[in-house]
Amino acid sequence: MTEELATVTSVDGDKVTLSSQIKSTCSGCSQVDSCANGQISKALPKQQLKITIDIPNDCQLKVGDCVVLGIPDGELLASAGQVYLFPLLGLIIFSGLGQWLLHANILNQEIISLVIGISGGYLGYVFAKYLQQSRKHTEKLQPKILRVLAKTSEQTC
């Protein structure tokens, strides 16, 4: 389970708005002072991610509470695989089809073969986008409140 800390910014009935700091991996690297990416991440202002989700029945939340959000790792990896692999597979398969049509003398111009390959990549993208927007898939990727952390004076989310 991939976890992230968030702070409750508002509670509205059965919905809660959470805010989380977007973290850059550059801050933990030993080369941060000599790396261009590290310098850029230092110069840019910190960004906040805000999300509104349903409050679980057993949670009593108030503004300022720190919570742990979670998303199942398997669903996250499957989603990333679809987004990256489907367009790539479409490009490869349709490019192979275009080349086969060209060598079989069904097509007489290589540009048509190229357009077929690019079309396959685009179709893979459209298919991945369709799968990502399905209601069943978006519900699986919706963050869930795993636990509420005890609030201490020095604690920051």
* pLDDT band, very low/low/confident/very high, at 11 (cuts 50, 70, 90): confident
| Residue 64 CA to its chain's centroid (Å) | 26
Asked if the model's pLDDT at residue 153 lies above 60, the reply is no
Contact 16, 61 (CB under 8 A): yes
Instruction: Return all residues near 116 (Cβ < 8 A) that are at least 6 apart.
Output: 94, 95, 97, 98, 101
Write down the mean pLDDT value for the chain: 84
Tens digit of pLDDT for each residue in 87-122? 999 999 999 999 999 999 998 889 999 999 999 999
- Higher local confidence (pLDDT), 134 or 24: 134
Residue 24's closest CA among 51, 9, 44, 53?
44
**How far is the C-alpha of 113 from the C-alpha of 97, rounded, in Å?**
8
Contact 2, 76 (CB under 8 A): yes
* pTM > 0.75: yes or no: no
